[in-house]
Amino acid sequence: MAASGDMLMATRGSNADGEEKTYVALQIAKEWTNWSLKKAKVVAHYGFIPLIVFVAMNSDPKHNLFQLLSPV
């Protein structure tokens, strides 16, 4: 009986280590995901208008910068 109890404890102990490693890995993945999404948000926020101006400047009917920025 003692041998099966020891085996049960060993199984639980190794499983707990595996669960802890999995938890740590998930936390690291979560932190990296949040970090990368925050950076992508900043890039999209500050890069969208310059991208539109760049694409418009290279379009077929050539516009000057004043025509692109004027509301008329």
Q: What is the pLDDT of residue 63?
A: 82
Q: Are 57 and 63 in contact (CB under 8 A)?
A: yes
Q: What is the pLDDT of residue 56?
A: 84
Q: What is the pLDDT of residue 67?
A: 84
Low-confidence ranges of the chain (pLDDT < 70): 1-16
Q: What is the pLDDT of residue 8?
A: 47
Query: Is 0.85 surpassed by the pTM of this model?
Result: no
Q: Which long-range contacts (CB under 8 A, 24 or more apart) does 29-34 make?
A: none
Q: What is the pLDDT of residue 41?
A: 96
Cα–Cα distance between 70 and 53 in angstroms, integer?
A: 12
DSSP state of 72: -
Residue 2 sits at the vertex; the CA angle it makes with 20 and 10, to the nearest 5 degrees, is 15
